[in-house]
Amino acid sequence: MEVVIVPDSAAGGELIAEAMANLLRRKPDALLGVATGSTPLPIYEAFAAKVRAAAVDASQARICQLDEYVGLPSGHPESYRSVVLREVVEPLGLSESSFIGPDGTADDIAAACEEYDQALVAAGGVDLQLLGIGTDGHIGFNEPCSSLASRTRIKTLTQQTRKDNARFFDSIDDVPHHVITQGIGTILEARHLVLLATGEAKADAVALAVEGPLSALVPASALQLHPHATVVVDEAAASQL
């Protein structure tokens, strides 16, 4: 695992956006796995700026989703499908057909999870998967105690994660209890994992993930198993390393 300490989130965003651009220069139709939350926004801004400046051609890029809420109506502004369309797909000028994600509105959620795992394989696998980290060490929505070999499946959010994500909703009562997430085993199949963590609130989780033992109690520690994992942290998030 490579750990890169950057001065701030803008520098982290620029570094990772350049890695994405380099990948597309080598492989124009690369499958980019994107994450939601506030942390990756500087990556998407820096990457879209490169595309606008014609520093990279992203017209053949493909985008896939890491996780999704269960039960939010289709088109809900906070469904991760809507978020990824708004923050990544549309600013890059890509069409919805270049984007795949799990169906959180499906009647049969277990089947939707399996279908999504298969869709990722059929798409040739994820070339670069962006990750954030939860304050409890989760990646995607793999909460502590998730199997390190898990596949895409339904999970129940912890109260802490619902609290952390309540800022996107009118109240915590509106935050869904259930989610679909790529499993840790699924995430580990991506060719390159890039985790960005910024701010002091992530410092303990980052230290446990990077320097602690490999443990299902800290899902992000699974990156230690991956042959090509890059952890980009600002100085505040690195403060416990």
Residues binding ligand GLP (CB under 6 A): 35-39, 66-67, 132-134, 140-141, 161, 165
What token pair was written down for 222? 């699974």
Helix, strand, coil share of the chain (percent; to 5)? 40, 20, 45
For ligand GLP, the closer of residues 15 and 56 by Cβ is 15
Find the shortest distance in angstroms from Cβ 226 to ligand GLP.
17
8 Å CB contact between 100 and 13: no
45 is catalytic: no
Find the shortest distance in angstroms from Cβ 135 to ligand GLP.
7
Find the shortest distance in angstroms from Cβ 185 to ligand GLP.
17
b vs e for 102-134, b when ≥16 Cβ sit within 10 Å of the residue's Cβ? bbbbeeebeebbebbbeebeeeeebbbbbbbbb
107 is catalytic: no
SS3 (DSSP) at 87: helix
For ligand GLP, the closer of residues 89 and 133 by Cβ is 133
Of residues 68, 87, 117, 143, which has the active-site annotation? 143
d(CA 178, CA 233): 29
8 Å CB contact between 145 and 222: no
For ligand GLP, the closer of residues 92 and 140 by Cβ is 140
143 is catalytic: yes
Of residues 14, 138, 192, 234, which has the active-site annotation? 138
Of residues 67, 68, 117, 234, which has the active-site annotation? 67
178 is catalytic: no
For ligand GLP, the closer of residues 161 and 221 by Cβ is 161
Residue 214's CB is within 10 A of a number of other CB atoms, namely 12
Query: 186 vs 57, 144, 181, 221, 232, CA distance in Å?
Result: 28, 16, 9, 15, 21
Find the shortest distance in angstroms from Cβ 73 to ligand GLP.
19
Residues with catalytic function: 67, 136, 138, 143
